[in-house]
């Protein structure tokens, strides 16, 4: 399995001929090196509706026919656009061709904002994902604050790789992310959701050094850098 980080919270996964993208944000991200039209996937997983997580979901879904996996409200909204969707909700799980997806809670918000009309459309709860692929367990936290039930995920799941936000301001920052990593006891951690904007500038290498100091492995991946699992 090949896992690639594309900046912000965008991750692609290649496994047994299947291609997945989580939270596609390419066209609005100045640091992104991949264009949305070059993304060829079978499934699109969305943690929530904010533009920096789903900006390119519709474009990619239309060009590839990919199925969008999202919370019920967000999936239903996207189905109105004629897109293929699979709705889920917090705590539920489903077996897809590439592996099993369990939707987890996240403490954040989720909405679609129309700046021109000055309207905000609520899109249900935000989420994270536990992904069982090729006998590996990946956790993508989405946008979230630190919360106590992360310890339950760590106690009841042997997580091989966790993607945790460290940007602060909108999500947990490095200090809370270190606590989250300890609670999860993941074999390795990739920091996400940082440096895209001035408000969330962080030192990913320093964060990973702190992870090492508490006995965990951190991977401060560069844009488009990959890990083989």
* Residues 6 or more apart whose Cβ sits within 8 Å of residue 148: 183
In 10 A of CB 206, how many CB atoms?
A: 14
In this structure, are strands 18-22 and 11-15 parallel, antiparallel, or unpaired?
Answer: antiparallel
pLDDT given for residue 3 in this prediction: 98
Say which DSSP state 200 is in: G
What are 55-65's pLDDT values in tens digits?
A: 999 999 999 99
- Half-sphere exposure of residue 127: CA atoms within 13 angstroms, side-chain side: 31
pTM of the entire structure? 0.98
What are 15-43's pLDDT values in tens digits?
A: 999 999 999 999 989 989 999 999 999 99
Q: How confident is the model at residue 208 (pLDDT cuts 50, 70, 90)?
A: very high
pLDDT given for residue 40 in this prediction: 97
Cα 61 to Cα 65, 74, 104, 217, 221: the distances in Å are 5, 14, 23, 34, 26
Cα distance between residue 105 and residue 10, in whole Å? 18
pLDDT given for residue 28 in this prediction: 87
Q: How confident is the model at residue 191 (pLDDT cuts 50, 70, 90)?
A: very high
Domains in the chain, ordered, with CATH?
Answer: 2-216 (3.60.15.10)
What's the length of the chain? 229
């Amino acid at each position: 399995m090949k896992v690639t980080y594309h900046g912000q919270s965008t991750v692609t996964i290649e496994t047994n001929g299947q291609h997945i993208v989580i939270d596609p944000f390419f066209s609005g991200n100045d640091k992104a090196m991949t264009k949305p039209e070059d993304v060829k996937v079978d499934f699109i997983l969305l943690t929530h509706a904010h533009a920096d997580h789903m900006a390119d979901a519709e474009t990619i879904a239309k060009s590839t026919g990919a199925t969008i996996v999202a919370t019920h409200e967000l999936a239903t909204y996207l189905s109105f656009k004629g897109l293929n969707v699979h709705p889920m909700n917090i705590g539920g799980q489903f077996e897809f061709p590439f592996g099993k997806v369990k939707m987890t809670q996240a403490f954040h918000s989720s909405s679609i904002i129309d700046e021109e009309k000055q309207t905000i459309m609520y899109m249900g709860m935000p989420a994270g994902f536990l992904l069982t692929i090729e006998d590996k367990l990946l956790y993508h936290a989405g946008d979230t604050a630190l919360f106590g039930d992360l310890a339950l995920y760590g106690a009841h799941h042997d997580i091989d790789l966790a993607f945790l936000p460290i940007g602060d301001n909108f999500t947990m920052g490095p200090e809370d992310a270190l606590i989250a990593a300890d609670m999860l006891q993941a074999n390795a951690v990739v920091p996400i959701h940082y440096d895209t904007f001035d408000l969330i500038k962080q030192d990913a290498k320093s964060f990973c050094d702190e992870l090492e100091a508490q006995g965990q492995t951190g991977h401060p991946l560069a844009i488009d850098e990959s890990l083989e699992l």
